[in-house]
Amino acid sequence: MTASTLPAHPSRQGRPNLFDLAALLCILGLAVLLASAGRHMLAPLSAPNAATIHLDPSWLPGYAVRTTLRMFAALMASLLFTFTYAVWAAKSRRAGLILVPVLDVLQSVPILGFLTFTVVFFMGLFPGQVMGAELAAIFTIFTSQAWNMAFSMYQSLRSIPPDLDEVARGFRLTSWQKFWRLEVPFAVPGLVWNAMISMSGGWFMVVYSETITVGNTDVLLPGIGSYVGTAIAQRDLWAVLYAIVTMLVVILGYDQLVFRPLVAWSARFATATIDARPAGDPWMLVLLRRTALLRRVTDSIGNGLTAIGGLPLGRRPSDARHKVRVPERVKDAGWTALLAGFCAVAAWQVWQYAHAAFSLAEIGHVVALGGLTLVRVIAMVLLASLIWVPAGVWLGLDAVRARRTQFVAQFMAAFPANLFFPIFVVFIVHFHLASDIWLTPLMILGTQWYILFNVVAGAASYPADLLEVARSLHVGGRLWWVRVILPGIVPYYITGAIAASGGAWNAAIAAEVANWGDVHLGAHGLGAYIAHATLRGDTAHVGLGMTIMAAFVLLFNRAVWRPLAEYARRHFTFS
């Protein structure tokens, strides 16, 4: 392996060096920012309705910090959730029976819909404090990350390599030791990757959730999202542009300071030799590894954590042997019966409620709206594919272009597309375009990039000898596309399309309605239905809309995407 994968040798003698100075300055700056932002969090909510957001660009850095802090608070919460829920689901077969399907459903529920419930809940928990609104926003971001991460953790825990498991049991590691020595490290690469992918969705959510209006509760949390919200209300296009630039800087910083170092670091935990990571370590990781002082601090923290992971807590494997089989089965039956009973009662309750609250006609109407949105999602995925598949192939077949495109596309995917919405809306308003058609592209604005970067990845890893065969046989034109390149990238394309369509469903809630000053645009669809119900604070209808949307997403995944992905896996993979 290359020298870069060797543990960077602790700097000579451990004397502070120039790198330390740089690192120290960074830390100091961060601390000041954190302190000032934290002060506001606990401030009384003097008059949240009147909270003023200043459109002067000099306020933007401060707003950016608050937005970023919300992101990281949510990330912490998601980690906590992952290490409890997912671990419980994986360790206890009986708990897994119910926890895993619940997670599967939660993954498909449109996240923006949660806002209605959480705002009411958290504002009730902390009346009169900004804290309540903050927590509601953080929870919204949490919902965009936690399910993904928990699923990744669960799957890792269930696929521990059997030989390593045997080593751990053979040496009689306790359950605690095994968890920290084997299971967590094994789960790290997947977890880091999923956390980072979820962050993209998170930026979208944070922007959206900073201006919350649920019925009479109207909250403006200082941040980039509320800045844009205010700019929209005041029809200030320049302010929107400032916000976009600020966001670019924030995401660039996050990508360079957090994302890349983390992914490079997590590669150490990969069990199989995975495809080449970007050549060389990211500069931030190099900086961290070269600073003598910081390194000593992190090393001692690391050693402390390692020691905690090595504590002989929990059961030794041999104890597990003495289980008696028969009562297990009885307990299982009891547990299943309990779950079934609980589900029946819940179903009865929901039926009762729905029966009283909604007429059959209304439900039919909402399903029809869902159909409209479905048509939009399909149309947009097709449109994006028409554009990005040829472009992605062209970009991906050249190594240099592929690398640059990967960077840009990943970056764009992380960028909260809703910051661009006002620009589109200005056009629609200006040219009096039909909002039913022209609001549609907003849905795919942020998620089209998944198609691009997956196609690029597919084209970049296309076997070179097959391309040479095609060239030597003079295969060109349509035949080349149909016989040579498209089948080879299908599995990648499908991965991208699944991500794009999932994201589009969720974005529908934000994209099917739009405002510019006092002009209100709306398209007909399930997203608009949920958005309007949220605005009215009409919990029952939000719930109905969310349920129908979740059902659409689940059905669409099961009926279309999964079989397609399975088919592609069997027919279009090399090896």
Partner 1 sequence: MTLPAAASPDPTHDELIRIVGCRQAYHKESAADLVVLDDVHLTLRSGEIVGLLGRSGSGKSTLLRIIAGLLPPTSGQVLWKGRELDGPVPGIAMVFQSFALFPWLTVQKNVELGLEAKGVPAAEREQLAENAIDLIGLGGYENAYPKELSGGMRQRVGLARALVVHPDLLLMDEPFSALDVLTAENLRTDLIELWAERRLPIKSVLLVTHNIEEAVLMCDRILVFSSNPGRVAHELSVPFAHPRNREDPAFRQLVDRIYALMTRRAPIVSEAELPGEEGPLPPPSVQIALPPLPINTMVGMMETLAADPLDGRADLPLLASRLQLELDDLFPLGESLQLLEFAELEDGDIILTQEGARFVQSAHDERKHILWHSLLHNIPLVRTIRSVLDERPNHRASAERFRDELEDSMSPDYAKQTLQTLIGWARYAELFDFDEEADQLFLDEEPS
Q: Which candidate, 119, 127, 122, 131, places its Cα nearest to that of 40?
A: 131
Task: Mark residues 254-273: x for contact with partner 1 by CB under 8 A, - for none.
Answer: --------------xxxx-x
The one segment of 51-59, 318-326, 414-422, 456-464 that binds partner 1 by CB under 8 A: 318-326
Identify residue 119 by its one-letter amino acid code: V
Token reading at 57: 């660009």
Please give the helix or strand (H or E) that residue 135 lies within, else none.
helix 130-158
Which residue among 79, 95, 160, 167 contacts partner 1 (CB under 8 A)?
167
Q: Is 315 in the site for partner 1 (CB under 8 A)?
A: no
Q: Is 164 in the site for partner 1 (CB under 8 A)?
A: yes
Q: What is the DSSP string of 430-496?
A: HHT--HHHHTTHHHHHTTHHHHHHHHHHHHHTS-HHHHHHHHHTT--HHHIIIIIIHHHHHHHHHHH
Interatomic CA distance for residues 16 and 19, integer angstroms: 8
Interatomic CA distance for residues 379 and 386, integer angstroms: 11
Number of residues that bind partner 1 (CB under 8 A): 34
Task: Mark residues 4-23: x for contact with partner 1 by CB under 8 A, - for none.
Answer: -xxx----------------
Q: What are the residues whose beta carbons fall under 8 Å from the beta carbon of 111, sequence distance 6 or more?
A: 140, 143, 144, 201, 205, 506
Q: Is 487 in the site for partner 1 (CB under 8 A)?
A: no
Which residue among 121, 171, 238, 427 contacts partner 1 (CB under 8 A)?
171
Which residue among 46, 58, 318, 359 contacts partner 1 (CB under 8 A)?
318
Which is nearer to partner 1, 325 or 432 (by Cβ)? Answer: 325
Which residue among 82, 177, 211, 440 contacts partner 1 (CB under 8 A)?
177
Rounded least distance, CB 148 to partner 1, Å: 23
- Which residues pair with residue 212 across a beta bridge? 219
Which is nearer to partner 1, 4 or 461 (by Cβ)? Answer: 4
Rounded least distance, CB 310 to partner 1, Å: 5
Q: What is the DSSP string of 519-567?
A: EEEE-SSHHHHHHHHHHHT-HHHHHHHHHHHHHHHHHHIIIIIHHHHHH
Three-class secondary structure of residue 143 per DSSP: helix
Q: Is 536 in the site for partner 1 (CB under 8 A)?
A: no
Rounded least distance, CB 5 to partner 1, Å: 7
Identify residue 26 by its one-letter amino acid code: C
Interatomic CA distance for residues 289 and 306, integer angstroms: 19
Which residue among 249, 320, 387, 540 contacts partner 1 (CB under 8 A)?
320
Q: Is 176 in the site for partner 1 (CB under 8 A)?
A: no
Rounded least distance, CB 321 to partner 1, Å: 5
Which is nearer to partner 1, 174 or 557 (by Cβ)? Answer: 174
Q: Is 319 in the site for partner 1 (CB under 8 A)?
A: yes
Which is nearer to partner 1, 314 or 517 (by Cβ)? Answer: 314
The one segment of 2-10, 19-27, 255-263, 513-521 that binds partner 1 by CB under 8 A: 2-10
The gap from C-alpha 510 to its chain's centroid, in whole angstroms, comes to: 17
Which residue among 15, 56, 163, 325 contacts partner 1 (CB under 8 A)?
163
Rounded least distance, CB 324 to partner 1, Å: 13
Q: Is 302 in the site for partner 1 (CB under 8 A)?
A: no
Measured between alpha carbons, how far is residue 520 from residues 13, 49, 112, 428 in Å? 66, 20, 19, 11
Query: How many C-beta atoms surround the C-beta of residue 563 within 10 A?
Result: 10
Binding site for partner 1 (CB under 8 A): 1, 5-7, 161, 163-164, 166-167, 169-174, 177, 181-182, 185, 188, 268-271, 273, 310, 312, 316-322
